[in-house]
Structure 1
């Protein structure tokens, strides 16, 4: 039986809405602590963040035009007086750096009463539904970063062009398993920190997997895409596999829109 694919692409000023109610996202931002640029690995929702699990963060790498540098070994929990996250010294000039991360969220099962547990069907065979979840994140920290680089994530958002400081939109291509993904539902939201989709206009990726995302405010931007594959590659453990990917960047000048 051929797998069933379901796709949602969300774009918001801070964080796009999750593909599943209660789902959590992974996104990358830049912080400066004691004058040292730090990659911040965020998890949860923009309005309700949680500390990501270090063992589940499989890879964190900084990419420049000159090469790649692994950052995972330098990760530490964020200080208690700031929102929960993992932090790692960047070690490169932020304006020239693209950072990429892979996070294995593991198996999740929903019981008959609606309770969600971090387990596969192997231990909760009576579950109403079960899924395996993996999350990918990328962030371009400046105009000199390799924005257009394909890093090879199973699900990936790749800009088609680098937006200028007054850009009113960004064009991106969505890749799944290395191929353009057409027909993705695209959302743009300007509701601040709230990752809700209600009432947002819908867009769609074209046959080449390209979508145009409007940018209506300056500041932090995060694009989010989700892809669900059913049946799962491990059908005895889960019903479906859920992939999510984010791409973060900043535009600090007022847009033209």
Structure 2
């Protein structure tokens, strides 16, 4: 049987959601701690952030035109006075850096009564459904970053062009297993919003996997896409595999002298 691919909001599938359409996501931002640029690994949703579990963070790398630097070994919990996250010193010039991360959210099952368990079908064979979830995140920290680079994530959002500081939209291509993914629904958050999807419009990719996403205002931007595959690559453990990817960037108003 050929796998069934579904690109959707997956409200009831991405586990840890507090309600319909409120999926936990992984996204990357830039912070400054004691004058040192830091990569911030965020996890959760708009009403509740969590620090992602470090053992489940498979990798975190910084990419510039000069090479790739691993950051995972330097990660530490954020200070208690700020929202939960993991932080690592960037070690490169932020304006020239693209950062990428992979997070294994694990196996989940949903019981007949709707209860959700962080366990596979091997332990919960009576479950109504089960899935495996993996999350990918990328962030471009400045105009000199390699925005257009394909890092090789199974599901990946790749800009087609670098937007200017006053751009009204961004064109991106969604890749799945290295190939353009048509019919993928992209969701957008702005001004520091987490990739919360409730009430947000979707922007669907064309046959070439490209979508044009409006940018409503200056500031932080996050794009999110989810792809489900059924049957799972591990059918004795899950019914389907759920992939989620985010791409974060910032557009600021140009300075006025």
Q: Distance in 1 between matches of 2:158 and 2:193?
A: 24
Q: Which moved more, 1:185-194 or 1:167-176?
A: 185-194
Q: Distance in 2 between matches of 1:207 and 1:130?
A: 30
Q: How does 1:1-257 map to 2 (within 5 A)?
A: 1-8=1-8, 21-188=21-188, 193=193, 195-198=196-199, 200-253=200-253
Q: What's the TM-score once normalised by structure 2's chain length?
A: 0.91
Going from structure 1 to structure 2, the CA distance change for 1:190 and 1:159 (only over 3 Å counts) comes to closer
Contact 1:161 1:170 survives alignment (8 Å): yes
Between the two structures, name the one with larger relative contact order (CA 8 Å, sep ≥ 6).
1
Contact 1:8 1:186 survives alignment (8 Å): no
Q: What's the TM-score once normalised by structure 1's chain length?
A: 0.91
User: Which ranges of structure 1 fall in alignment gaps of 5 or more residues?
Assistant: 11-16
Q: Distance in 1 between matches of 2:190 and 2:35?
A: 31
Question: Corresponding residue for 2:14?
Answer: none
Structure 1 residues 12-63: Cα deviation after superposition (integer angstroms, max 9, x where no partner): xxxxx99x74531000000000000000000011332111000000000000
Contact 2:189 2:223 survives alignment (8 Å): no
Q: How many residues align?
A: 246
Going from structure 1 to structure 2, the CA distance change for 1:201 and 1:75 (only over 3 Å counts) comes to closer
Aligned CA RMSD, in angstroms, stands at 2.0
Going from structure 1 to structure 2, the CA distance change for 1:9 and 1:173 (only over 3 Å counts) comes to farther
User: Which ranges of structure 2 fall in alignment gaps of 5 or more residues?
Assistant: 11-16
Contact 1:189 1:197 survives alignment (8 Å): no
